[in-house]
Structure 1
Amino acid sequence: MSDYKFKRVLLKLSGEALMGSKEFGIDPDVPQKIAEELKPAYDAGMQIAVVVGGGNIFRGLSGAAAGMDRAQGDNMGMLATVINSLALQDTFERNGMICRVMSAIEMHQVSETYIRRRAIRHLEKGRITIFAAGTGNPYFTTDTAAALRACEIGAEILMKATKVDGIYDSDPMKNPDAKKFDTITYMDVLNRDLHVMDATATALCHDNHMPIMVFNLDEDGIFDRALRGEHVGTIVVDE
Protein backbone atom coordinates (compact mmCIF):
# COMPACT_ATOMS: atom_id res chain seq x y z
CA MET A 1 0.00 0.00 0.00
CA SER A 2 2.94 2.33 0.69
CA ASP A 3 3.80 2.41 -3.02
CA TYR A 4 0.45 3.99 -3.85
CA LYS A 5 -0.17 7.73 -3.78
CA PHE A 6 -3.93 7.35 -3.26
CA LYS A 7 -5.88 5.19 -0.82
CA ARG A 8 -9.47 5.70 -2.02
CA VAL A 9 -10.40 6.46 -5.63
CA LEU A 10 -13.47 6.46 -7.84
CA LEU A 11 -13.11 5.14 -11.39
CA LYS A 12 -15.62 6.36 -13.99
CA LEU A 13 -16.13 4.06 -16.99
CA SER A 14 -18.25 4.78 -20.03
CA GLY A 15 -20.86 2.28 -21.10
CA GLU A 16 -19.53 2.51 -24.65
CA ALA A 17 -16.16 1.23 -23.46
CA LEU A 18 -17.78 -2.08 -22.50
CA MET A 19 -18.81 -2.67 -26.11
CA GLY A 20 -15.23 -3.28 -27.19
CA SER A 21 -15.38 -4.30 -30.83
CA LYS A 22 -19.13 -4.93 -30.72
CA GLU A 23 -21.79 -2.51 -31.92
CA PHE A 24 -24.06 -3.06 -28.92
CA GLY A 25 -23.99 -4.61 -25.47
CA ILE A 26 -20.97 -5.97 -23.62
CA ASP A 27 -17.82 -7.54 -25.02
CA PRO A 28 -16.76 -9.99 -22.24
CA ASP A 29 -13.11 -9.26 -22.96
CA VAL A 30 -13.49 -5.65 -21.79
CA PRO A 31 -14.71 -6.31 -18.22
CA GLN A 32 -11.99 -8.95 -17.95
CA LYS A 33 -9.31 -6.43 -18.95
CA ILE A 34 -10.70 -3.90 -16.46
CA ALA A 35 -10.58 -6.57 -13.73
CA GLU A 36 -6.95 -7.34 -14.58
CA GLU A 37 -6.12 -3.61 -14.40
CA LEU A 38 -7.72 -3.24 -10.97
CA LYS A 39 -6.46 -6.49 -9.41
CA PRO A 40 -2.96 -5.35 -8.31
CA ALA A 41 -4.37 -2.28 -6.55
CA TYR A 42 -7.17 -4.33 -5.00
CA ASP A 43 -4.68 -6.91 -3.71
CA ALA A 44 -2.60 -4.08 -2.23
CA GLY A 45 -5.57 -2.85 -0.19
CA MET A 46 -6.69 0.09 -2.32
CA GLN A 47 -10.27 1.25 -1.80
CA ILE A 48 -11.88 1.32 -5.24
CA ALA A 49 -15.31 2.64 -6.20
CA VAL A 50 -16.69 2.45 -9.74
CA VAL A 51 -19.39 4.26 -11.71
CA VAL A 52 -20.24 2.96 -15.18
CA GLY A 53 -22.46 4.52 -17.83
CA GLY A 54 -25.15 2.80 -19.85
CA GLY A 55 -24.57 4.14 -23.36
CA ASN A 56 -23.76 0.69 -24.76
CA ILE A 57 -27.38 -0.29 -24.07
CA PHE A 58 -29.47 2.88 -23.97
CA ARG A 59 -28.86 6.62 -23.79
CA GLY A 60 -31.64 8.90 -22.56
CA LEU A 61 -30.60 11.86 -24.72
CA SER A 62 -30.80 9.74 -27.87
CA GLY A 63 -34.26 8.59 -26.88
CA ALA A 64 -35.33 12.18 -26.24
CA ALA A 65 -33.98 13.23 -29.64
CA ALA A 66 -36.19 10.56 -31.20
CA GLY A 67 -39.27 11.96 -29.48
CA MET A 68 -39.27 10.02 -26.21
CA ASP A 69 -39.98 11.83 -22.97
CA ARG A 70 -36.57 12.82 -21.56
CA ALA A 71 -37.30 11.69 -18.02
CA GLN A 72 -38.51 8.31 -19.25
CA GLY A 73 -35.45 7.92 -21.47
CA ASP A 74 -33.13 8.78 -18.59
CA ASN A 75 -34.87 6.23 -16.36
CA MET A 76 -34.20 3.59 -19.02
CA GLY A 77 -30.58 4.71 -19.20
CA MET A 78 -30.21 4.35 -15.44
CA LEU A 79 -31.48 0.78 -15.63
CA ALA A 80 -28.90 0.11 -18.35
CA THR A 81 -26.15 1.11 -15.91
CA VAL A 82 -27.42 -1.53 -13.49
CA ILE A 83 -26.97 -4.21 -16.17
CA ASN A 84 -23.42 -3.02 -16.77
CA SER A 85 -22.70 -2.88 -13.05
CA LEU A 86 -23.85 -6.47 -12.54
CA ALA A 87 -21.66 -7.59 -15.45
CA LEU A 88 -18.64 -5.89 -13.89
CA GLN A 89 -19.44 -7.39 -10.48
CA ASP A 90 -19.59 -10.88 -11.95
CA THR A 91 -16.23 -10.44 -13.68
CA PHE A 92 -14.55 -8.90 -10.64
CA GLU A 93 -15.72 -11.73 -8.40
CA ARG A 94 -14.52 -14.37 -10.87
CA ASN A 95 -11.12 -12.70 -10.60
CA GLY A 96 -11.08 -12.98 -6.82
CA MET A 97 -12.22 -9.47 -5.93
CA ILE A 98 -15.10 -9.03 -3.48
CA CYS A 99 -17.57 -6.57 -4.95
CA ARG A 100 -20.86 -4.89 -4.07
CA VAL A 101 -23.34 -3.13 -6.36
CA MET A 102 -25.26 -0.26 -4.79
CA SER A 103 -28.13 1.21 -6.79
CA ALA A 104 -29.67 4.68 -6.50
CA ILE A 105 -32.95 3.03 -7.57
CA GLU A 106 -34.19 0.36 -5.17
CA MET A 107 -34.07 -3.15 -6.63
CA HIS A 108 -33.39 -5.42 -3.67
CA GLN A 109 -33.31 -8.66 -5.64
CA VAL A 110 -30.18 -7.70 -7.61
CA SER A 111 -28.38 -4.96 -5.66
CA GLU A 112 -28.14 -3.05 -2.42
CA THR A 113 -29.78 0.34 -2.10
CA TYR A 114 -27.22 3.16 -2.03
CA ILE A 115 -26.58 4.40 1.51
CA ARG A 116 -23.53 6.61 1.89
CA ARG A 117 -22.30 5.25 5.23
CA ARG A 118 -22.76 1.66 4.11
CA ALA A 119 -20.85 2.39 0.91
CA ILE A 120 -17.94 3.80 2.89
CA ARG A 121 -18.00 0.73 5.13
CA HIS A 122 -17.80 -1.56 2.09
CA LEU A 123 -14.74 0.35 0.91
CA GLU A 124 -13.12 0.21 4.33
CA LYS A 125 -13.60 -3.58 4.30
CA GLY A 126 -11.79 -3.79 0.96
CA ARG A 127 -14.79 -4.42 -1.27
CA ILE A 128 -14.93 -2.85 -4.71
CA THR A 129 -18.13 -0.83 -4.65
CA ILE A 130 -20.01 -0.11 -7.88
CA PHE A 131 -22.53 2.71 -7.81
CA ALA A 132 -25.34 1.97 -10.27
CA ALA A 133 -28.38 3.86 -11.61
CA GLY A 134 -26.68 7.25 -11.71
CA THR A 135 -28.02 9.67 -9.12
CA GLY A 136 -31.45 8.06 -9.29
CA ASN A 137 -32.82 11.18 -11.00
CA PRO A 138 -33.40 12.03 -14.67
CA TYR A 139 -31.54 14.96 -16.30
CA PHE A 140 -28.30 14.02 -14.55
CA THR A 141 -25.55 12.10 -16.35
CA THR A 142 -23.39 9.32 -14.96
CA ASP A 143 -20.51 11.83 -15.03
CA THR A 144 -22.44 13.88 -12.49
CA ALA A 145 -23.20 10.71 -10.53
CA ALA A 146 -19.48 9.91 -10.47
CA ALA A 147 -18.62 13.41 -9.24
CA LEU A 148 -21.34 13.25 -6.59
CA ARG A 149 -20.34 9.81 -5.30
CA ALA A 150 -16.63 10.71 -5.30
CA CYS A 151 -17.39 13.68 -3.07
CA GLU A 152 -19.77 11.71 -0.84
CA ILE A 153 -17.33 8.88 -0.11
CA GLY A 154 -14.34 11.17 0.33
CA ALA A 155 -12.38 9.85 -2.66
CA GLU A 156 -8.99 11.45 -3.15
CA ILE A 157 -9.39 11.63 -6.93
CA LEU A 158 -11.96 10.92 -9.63
CA MET A 159 -10.36 8.90 -12.43
CA LYS A 160 -12.15 8.96 -15.78
CA ALA A 161 -11.20 6.31 -18.33
CA THR A 162 -11.79 7.41 -21.93
CA LYS A 163 -10.85 6.45 -25.48
CA VAL A 164 -8.04 9.04 -25.61
CA ASP A 165 -4.96 9.54 -23.44
CA GLY A 166 -5.99 12.82 -21.86
CA ILE A 167 -7.63 16.18 -22.51
CA TYR A 168 -6.93 18.05 -25.75
CA ASP A 169 -7.82 21.54 -26.94
CA SER A 170 -9.77 19.93 -29.81
CA ASP A 171 -10.80 16.45 -30.88
CA PRO A 172 -7.54 14.53 -31.52
CA MET A 173 -9.48 12.03 -33.63
CA LYS A 174 -10.33 14.83 -36.07
CA ASN A 175 -7.44 17.24 -35.62
CA PRO A 176 -3.92 15.75 -35.78
CA ASP A 177 -2.53 19.06 -34.45
CA ALA A 178 -4.64 18.96 -31.29
CA LYS A 179 -2.68 19.97 -28.20
CA LYS A 180 -2.76 17.76 -25.12
CA PHE A 181 -2.83 19.27 -21.64
CA ASP A 182 -0.79 17.71 -18.82
CA THR A 183 -2.80 19.73 -16.29
CA ILE A 184 -5.71 22.11 -16.73
CA THR A 185 -7.99 24.02 -14.37
CA TYR A 186 -11.70 23.40 -13.89
CA MET A 187 -12.47 26.91 -15.15
CA ASP A 188 -10.45 26.37 -18.33
CA VAL A 189 -12.38 23.16 -18.97
CA LEU A 190 -15.67 25.01 -18.53
CA ASN A 191 -14.68 28.13 -20.43
CA ARG A 192 -13.23 26.18 -23.35
CA ASP A 193 -16.26 23.84 -23.35
CA LEU A 194 -13.92 20.84 -23.59
CA HIS A 195 -16.53 18.20 -22.67
CA VAL A 196 -14.21 16.30 -20.33
CA MET A 197 -17.28 15.66 -18.22
CA ASP A 198 -20.56 17.51 -18.41
CA ALA A 199 -20.60 21.02 -16.93
CA THR A 200 -22.55 19.98 -13.83
CA ALA A 201 -20.01 17.28 -12.96
CA THR A 202 -17.05 19.61 -13.58
CA ALA A 203 -18.61 22.38 -11.47
CA LEU A 204 -19.34 19.92 -8.64
CA CYS A 205 -15.71 18.76 -8.63
CA HIS A 206 -14.56 22.39 -8.74
CA ASP A 207 -16.73 23.39 -5.77
CA ASN A 208 -15.47 20.44 -3.71
CA HIS A 209 -11.82 20.50 -4.84
CA MET A 210 -12.09 17.01 -6.30
CA PRO A 211 -9.23 16.46 -8.78
CA ILE A 212 -10.11 14.67 -12.02
CA MET A 213 -7.67 12.45 -13.89
CA VAL A 214 -8.47 11.59 -17.51
CA PHE A 215 -6.60 8.72 -19.17
CA ASN A 216 -6.92 5.87 -21.65
CA LEU A 217 -7.64 2.59 -19.86
CA ASP A 218 -6.61 0.63 -22.98
CA GLU A 219 -2.95 1.19 -22.06
CA ASP A 220 -1.73 -1.84 -20.15
CA GLY A 221 -0.98 -1.16 -16.49
CA ILE A 222 -2.04 2.48 -16.65
CA PHE A 223 -4.44 2.32 -13.69
CA ASP A 224 -1.73 0.94 -11.42
CA ARG A 225 0.78 3.51 -12.69
CA ALA A 226 -1.69 6.33 -12.08
CA LEU A 227 -2.31 5.15 -8.52
CA ARG A 228 1.43 5.13 -7.87
CA GLY A 229 1.58 8.83 -8.75
CA GLU A 230 3.02 8.57 -12.25
CA HIS A 231 1.88 11.37 -14.51
CA VAL A 232 -0.49 9.78 -16.98
CA GLY A 233 -3.20 11.46 -19.03
CA THR A 234 -4.39 14.87 -17.86
CA ILE A 235 -5.25 16.13 -14.38
CA VAL A 236 -7.91 18.78 -13.76
CA VAL A 237 -7.14 20.86 -10.67
CA ASP A 238 -7.78 24.20 -8.96
CA GLU A 239 -6.07 27.39 -10.13
Structure 2
Amino acid sequence: MERLEPIKAAHRFIDTYFTNCNAAILAGSVVRGQATATSDLDIVIFDEKIEASYRESVLEFGWPIELFVHNLSSYKDFFLMDYNIAKPSMQRMVVEGIVLRDNGILQDIRQEAEKMLEEGPKEWTEDTIRTKRYFISDVLDDFIGSDSEQEVIFIASTLSFLLYEFVLRVNKQWIGTSKWMVRSLQQYDTKFADEFIAAFDTFYRNREKVKIILLADKVLQPYGGKLFAGFSIGKDIIQK
Protein backbone atom coordinates (compact mmCIF):
# COMPACT_ATOMS: atom_id res chain seq x y z
CA MET A 1 0.00 0.00 0.00
CA GLU A 2 1.20 3.51 -0.84
CA ARG A 3 2.29 5.45 2.22
CA LEU A 4 0.09 8.48 2.86
CA GLU A 5 1.39 11.68 4.41
CA PRO A 6 1.49 11.16 8.20
CA ILE A 7 -1.30 13.55 9.16
CA LYS A 8 -3.51 12.33 6.34
CA ALA A 9 -2.84 8.70 7.33
CA ALA A 10 -3.65 9.47 10.97
CA HIS A 11 -6.93 11.17 10.04
CA ARG A 12 -7.85 8.29 7.75
CA PHE A 13 -7.12 5.79 10.50
CA ILE A 14 -9.32 7.61 13.05
CA ASP A 15 -12.12 8.07 10.52
CA THR A 16 -11.99 4.34 9.71
CA TYR A 17 -11.51 2.66 13.08
CA PHE A 18 -12.42 5.16 15.81
CA THR A 19 -15.28 7.04 14.23
CA ASN A 20 -17.01 7.89 17.50
CA CYS A 21 -14.04 8.59 19.78
CA ASN A 22 -14.08 11.74 21.89
CA ALA A 23 -10.61 12.89 20.88
CA ALA A 24 -7.46 11.77 19.11
CA ILE A 25 -3.92 13.15 18.96
CA LEU A 26 -1.04 12.40 16.59
CA ALA A 27 2.24 12.54 18.52
CA GLY A 28 5.82 11.31 18.33
CA SER A 29 8.74 11.97 16.02
CA VAL A 30 6.69 12.86 12.94
CA VAL A 31 5.14 15.75 14.88
CA ARG A 32 8.49 16.95 16.27
CA GLY A 33 10.12 16.90 12.83
CA GLN A 34 12.49 14.11 13.92
CA ALA A 35 11.06 11.26 11.86
CA THR A 36 13.35 8.65 10.31
CA ALA A 37 12.77 5.92 7.76
CA THR A 38 11.68 3.57 10.54
CA SER A 39 9.47 6.00 12.47
CA ASP A 40 5.89 5.09 13.27
CA LEU A 41 2.77 7.09 14.03
CA ASP A 42 1.94 7.47 17.71
CA ILE A 43 -1.77 8.07 18.11
CA VAL A 44 -3.43 8.75 21.47
CA ILE A 45 -7.16 8.09 21.53
CA PHE A 46 -9.72 9.08 24.16
CA ASP A 47 -13.00 7.20 24.02
CA GLU A 48 -15.48 7.22 26.90
CA LYS A 49 -16.87 3.86 25.75
CA ILE A 50 -13.57 2.02 26.32
CA GLU A 51 -13.68 0.06 29.58
CA ALA A 52 -9.91 -0.18 30.10
CA SER A 53 -6.89 1.41 28.49
CA TYR A 54 -4.78 -0.58 26.05
CA ARG A 55 -1.87 -0.30 23.65
CA GLU A 56 -1.83 -1.85 20.21
CA SER A 57 0.47 -1.92 17.18
CA VAL A 58 -0.98 -2.09 13.66
CA LEU A 59 0.03 -1.55 10.04
CA GLU A 60 -2.36 0.69 8.15
CA PHE A 61 -2.19 3.16 5.25
CA GLY A 62 1.49 2.46 4.69
CA TRP A 63 2.49 3.16 8.31
CA PRO A 64 3.31 1.25 11.45
CA ILE A 65 0.96 2.77 14.02
CA GLU A 66 1.25 2.66 17.82
CA LEU A 67 -2.12 3.17 19.50
CA PHE A 68 -2.56 4.38 23.07
CA VAL A 69 -6.25 4.05 23.81
CA HIS A 70 -7.84 5.49 26.96
CA ASN A 71 -11.22 6.30 28.39
CA LEU A 72 -11.77 9.64 30.12
CA SER A 73 -10.18 8.55 33.40
CA SER A 74 -7.65 5.79 32.65
CA TYR A 75 -5.11 8.26 31.26
CA LYS A 76 -4.71 9.68 34.78
CA ASP A 77 -3.15 6.41 35.96
CA PHE A 78 -0.59 6.67 33.17
CA PHE A 79 0.13 10.31 33.99
CA LEU A 80 0.80 9.25 37.58
CA MET A 81 2.91 6.25 36.56
CA ASP A 82 5.04 8.39 34.25
CA TYR A 83 5.38 11.01 36.98
CA ASN A 84 6.60 8.44 39.50
CA ILE A 85 9.32 7.12 37.18
CA ALA A 86 10.17 10.64 35.90
CA LYS A 87 9.56 9.64 32.26
CA PRO A 88 6.59 11.72 31.06
CA SER A 89 5.97 10.06 27.70
CA MET A 90 2.18 10.24 27.96
CA GLN A 91 2.22 13.87 29.06
CA ARG A 92 4.51 14.84 26.18
CA MET A 93 2.35 13.10 23.61
CA VAL A 94 -0.74 14.92 24.86
CA VAL A 95 0.93 18.34 24.97
CA GLU A 96 3.06 18.17 21.81
CA GLY A 97 0.65 16.26 19.59
CA ILE A 98 -1.46 17.44 16.68
CA VAL A 99 -5.19 17.27 17.40
CA LEU A 100 -6.96 14.96 14.99
CA ARG A 101 -10.33 15.13 16.69
CA ASP A 102 -11.76 16.79 19.81
CA ASN A 103 -15.32 17.06 21.05
CA GLY A 104 -14.25 19.48 23.78
CA ILE A 105 -12.44 17.26 26.27
CA LEU A 106 -8.81 17.91 25.36
CA GLN A 107 -8.32 21.33 26.89
CA ASP A 108 -8.54 20.07 30.47
CA ILE A 109 -6.42 16.98 29.76
CA ARG A 110 -3.74 19.08 28.08
CA GLN A 111 -3.69 21.56 30.94
CA GLU A 112 -3.26 18.66 33.35
CA ALA A 113 -0.31 17.36 31.33
CA GLU A 114 1.26 20.81 30.92
CA LYS A 115 1.12 21.43 34.66
CA MET A 116 2.92 18.17 35.40
CA LEU A 117 5.60 18.86 32.79
CA GLU A 118 6.22 22.36 34.13
CA GLU A 119 6.46 21.22 37.76
CA GLY A 120 8.96 18.49 36.95
CA PRO A 121 9.40 15.11 38.64
CA LYS A 122 9.34 14.38 42.35
CA GLU A 123 12.49 15.65 44.08
CA TRP A 124 14.96 13.03 45.23
CA THR A 125 15.46 12.71 48.99
CA GLU A 126 18.88 12.90 50.62
CA ASP A 127 18.71 9.14 51.24
CA THR A 128 18.03 8.50 47.56
CA ILE A 129 20.92 10.72 46.50
CA ARG A 130 23.22 8.93 48.94
CA THR A 131 22.14 5.52 47.63
CA LYS A 132 22.62 6.58 44.02
CA ARG A 133 26.09 7.94 44.86
CA TYR A 134 27.04 4.58 46.30
CA PHE A 135 25.96 2.58 43.26
CA ILE A 136 27.61 5.02 40.85
CA SER A 137 30.81 4.73 42.89
CA ASP A 138 30.61 0.95 42.79
CA VAL A 139 30.18 0.80 39.01
CA LEU A 140 32.84 3.50 38.54
CA ASP A 141 35.35 1.40 40.48
CA ASP A 142 34.48 -1.60 38.31
CA PHE A 143 35.02 0.57 35.23
CA ILE A 144 38.37 1.87 36.43
CA GLY A 145 39.63 -1.53 37.50
CA SER A 146 38.38 -3.67 34.64
CA ASP A 147 40.97 -5.00 32.20
CA SER A 148 38.46 -7.08 30.25
CA GLU A 149 37.80 -5.66 26.78
CA GLN A 150 34.40 -7.36 26.73
CA GLU A 151 33.18 -6.56 30.26
CA VAL A 152 34.19 -2.91 30.27
CA ILE A 153 31.90 -2.15 27.32
CA PHE A 154 28.85 -3.13 29.36
CA ILE A 155 30.16 -1.53 32.55
CA ALA A 156 30.46 1.75 30.65
CA SER A 157 26.89 1.39 29.39
CA THR A 158 25.58 0.94 32.94
CA LEU A 159 27.66 3.85 34.18
CA SER A 160 26.37 6.14 31.42
CA PHE A 161 22.76 5.64 32.50
CA LEU A 162 23.51 5.99 36.23
CA LEU A 163 25.39 9.27 35.67
CA TYR A 164 22.73 10.56 33.27
CA GLU A 165 19.93 9.73 35.69
CA PHE A 166 21.78 11.29 38.63
CA VAL A 167 22.52 14.59 36.90
CA LEU A 168 18.96 15.09 35.73
CA ARG A 169 17.15 13.89 38.84
CA VAL A 170 19.21 15.92 41.34
CA ASN A 171 18.36 18.93 39.16
CA LYS A 172 14.65 17.99 39.15
CA GLN A 173 14.58 17.22 35.42
CA TRP A 174 12.64 14.58 33.52
CA ILE A 175 14.55 11.58 32.21
CA GLY A 176 14.08 9.05 29.43
CA THR A 177 15.65 6.02 27.79
CA SER A 178 17.30 5.32 24.46
CA LYS A 179 17.15 8.42 22.21
CA TRP A 180 15.50 10.40 25.01
CA MET A 181 18.72 10.22 27.03
CA VAL A 182 20.41 12.55 24.56
CA ARG A 183 17.36 14.75 24.15
CA SER A 184 16.84 15.12 27.90
CA LEU A 185 20.50 16.02 28.47
CA GLN A 186 20.38 18.61 25.70
CA GLN A 187 17.18 20.13 27.06
CA TYR A 188 18.82 20.41 30.47
CA ASP A 189 22.24 21.77 29.47
CA THR A 190 23.67 21.63 25.95
CA LYS A 191 27.26 22.23 27.07
CA PHE A 192 27.13 19.44 29.64
CA ALA A 193 25.39 17.17 27.11
CA ASP A 194 28.28 17.70 24.67
CA GLU A 195 30.80 16.93 27.43
CA PHE A 196 28.91 13.81 28.47
CA ILE A 197 28.59 12.47 24.93
CA ALA A 198 32.23 13.25 24.10
CA ALA A 199 33.47 11.36 27.17
CA PHE A 200 31.65 8.15 26.25
CA ASP A 201 32.30 8.55 22.53
CA THR A 202 36.05 8.74 23.25
CA PHE A 203 35.85 5.59 25.33
CA TYR A 204 33.89 3.58 22.79
CA ARG A 205 36.20 4.66 19.97
CA ASN A 206 39.55 4.44 21.70
CA ARG A 207 38.94 2.66 25.04
CA GLU A 208 40.24 5.75 26.84
CA LYS A 209 38.68 5.96 30.30
CA VAL A 210 40.00 9.28 31.60
CA LYS A 211 37.20 11.54 30.35
CA ILE A 212 34.51 9.33 31.85
CA ILE A 213 36.32 9.15 35.19
CA LEU A 214 36.68 12.95 35.30
CA LEU A 215 33.03 13.36 34.29
CA ALA A 216 31.88 11.06 37.09
CA ASP A 217 34.00 12.91 39.64
CA LYS A 218 32.53 16.22 38.43
CA VAL A 219 28.96 14.89 38.74
CA LEU A 220 29.44 13.46 42.24
CA GLN A 221 31.63 16.17 43.75
CA PRO A 222 28.84 18.65 44.70
CA TYR A 223 27.08 15.87 46.61
CA GLY A 224 30.07 14.56 48.54
CA GLY A 225 31.96 12.64 45.86
CA LYS A 226 32.34 8.87 45.70
CA LEU A 227 30.80 6.89 48.52
CA PHE A 228 31.79 3.55 49.98
CA ALA A 229 32.76 3.54 53.65
CA GLY A 230 29.81 4.06 55.98
CA PHE A 231 27.10 3.23 53.48
CA SER A 232 24.45 0.70 54.51
CA ILE A 233 20.92 -0.32 53.61
CA GLY A 234 18.52 -1.86 56.12
CA LYS A 235 20.86 -1.86 59.12
CA ASP A 236 18.64 0.43 61.23
CA ILE A 237 15.59 -1.73 60.50
CA ILE A 238 17.37 -4.92 61.58
CA GLN A 239 18.64 -3.32 64.79
CA LYS A 240 15.16 -2.16 65.72
TM-score band by shorter chain is under 0.3
TM-score (norm 2): 0.22
TM-score (norm 1): 0.22
Greater share of strand? 1
Specify the structure having the higher radius of gyration (Cα).
2
Greater share of helix? 2
